[in-house]
Amino acid sequence: MPDYDVAVIGAGVFGAWTAWHLCRSGRRVLLVDAWGAGHSRSSSGGESRIIRMGYGADEIYTRMAMRSLELWRGFDIFVPAGVLWIGREGDAYSAATLRTLQGAGVTIQVLSPAELRLRWPQMRPAESDVFGIFEPRSGALMARRAVQAVVRDAMRHGVDYRIERVQPAAPLPARTLVFACGPWLPKLFPDLLGKRLWPTRQEVFFFAPPAGDRRFVPGALPVWIDFTHPLGPYGFPDIEARGCKLAFDRHGEAFDPDSGDRTVSASSVAKARDFIGALFPALRDAPLTEARVCQYENTSSGDFLIDRHPEWPDVWLVGGGSGHGFKHGPAVGEYVARQILGEGVAEERFSLASKQERQQRSVY
């Protein structure tokens, strides 16, 4: 008889929450990671992640984010800075976001260009015809600490946790296996996922605000996303005195999570500095305090991959966070647990069959 009902391979945000929910359902669970929860090369590592409800017309992700925030609030890792969506007036995606948020009952504030300038004068969007959708109850999650907190809580409730390398063909003492290995999934299952999941190199920058300047602390400045810019820039206030974080959501070049170069280039720093100096004039000459390279693992559409292996019915594949998955960890883990337990209806958008070999991203 196997020692465990389920073994979860990968202690990132999807794997940690899957183990947490399965344990709460009374199952015997083993959680395994090759380097440890929230390690520096994982897509769940790093300092911070956005939790927002806005997703265009994709209400499924708005609802998942709402549910996830309920569960994240049980851990001391949420920064209630609010989230500001910067859109262009007349933009269809921003208009769809507004309708979806209103329909889901999310607390929001819609701000005109003049109201944006009055509320956050330290910010100067490049376009004059912009407006804001502000989610005052959203904010930031402390990523690495969040994953590690979930793992610790899962262990307190009976999950066994190991640091161990696992291959798909390696025997584990469990009836069901869940591979939640982020950018390593296409390496573990090359024939099945090698052309359906694309890890990409993504760079993150932190710039120090001027000494004594409180315009950039949480509360004075929200987390923000600029949907008027083709690079998809987003950023955070100066959380825990690490500096103001800036990154670009546009997919980078192909990246190997094991051997990829994690050194940030001088040209990338220059591009980041030019952008942040234009949006925040007070940061034009700000020192770069920190920079790192992480990765997305992208599906063809940006929808998650949560499905059984087509040849091994006791093996589940969970991944494809596509750069927006971290916030949804609690809801994803809940969904995976219910699927394994035979509860609830499977979502077609998460199926393996829906994942194409050509990228046509539609989820942002």
CATH class of 4-354: alpha beta
Which pLDDT score is estimated for 169? 81
* Spatial contact of 296 and 323, defined as CB atoms under 8 Å apart: yes
* Spatial contact of 87 and 96, defined as CB atoms under 8 Å apart: no
The one-letter code for the residue type at 134 is: F
* Spatial contact of 58 and 363, defined as CB atoms under 8 Å apart: yes
The dihedral of CA 302, 304, 305, 307: what is its sign? negative
Residue 157 clears pLDDT 60, i.e. is over it: yes
The interaxial angle of helices 143-156 and 13-24, nearest 10 deg, is 20
Q: Which of 128, 148, 147, 143 is nearest to 86 (CA)?
A: 128
CB atoms closer than 10 angstroms to residue 37: 26
Q: Which of 321, 334, 16, 26 is nearest to 149 (CA)?
A: 16
Which pLDDT score is estimated for 127? 79
Which pLDDT score is estimated for 167? 87
Give the C-alpha separation, 279 to 287, whole Å.
Answer: 16
- Pairing relationship of beta strands 139-142 and 109-111 according to DSSP bridges: unpaired
- Per the document, the length of the chain is 364
Which pLDDT score is estimated for 70? 98
* Spatial contact of 87 and 348, defined as CB atoms under 8 Å apart: no
- Pairing relationship of beta strands 198-207 and 244-248 according to DSSP bridges: antiparallel
Give the C-alpha separation, 206 to 278, whole Å.
Answer: 15
pTM above 0.85, yes or no: yes
Nearest-5° Cα angle at 70, 240 to 37:
55
- The structure tokens listed for 184 are 């390593």
| pLDDT tens-place string over residues 326-357 | 999 999 999 999 999 999 899 999 999 999 99
Percent of the chain surpassing pLDDT 70: 100
Residue 2 clears pLDDT 80, i.e. is over it: no
Q: What is the residue extent of each domain of the chain? A: 4-354
Give the C-alpha separation, 300 to 197, whole Å.
Answer: 7
Give the C-alpha separation, 299 to 358, whole Å.
Answer: 9
Cβ neighbors of 357 (< 8 A, separation 6 or more) are 195, 196, 300
Q: Which of 236, 235, 238 is nearest to 216 (CA)?
A: 238
| pLDDT tens-place string over residues 165-207 | 998 887 899 999 999 999 999 999 999 999 999 999 999 999 9
The one-letter code for the residue type at 105 is: G
| pLDDT tens-place string over residues 81-140 | 999 999 999 999 999 999 999 999 999 999 999 999 999 999 999 878 999 999 999 999
Q: Model confidence at 315, in pLDDT bands (50, 70, 90)? A: very high
* Spatial contact of 110 and 132, defined as CB atoms under 8 Å apart: yes
End-to-end CA distance of the chain: 44
Which pLDDT score is estimated for 1? 54
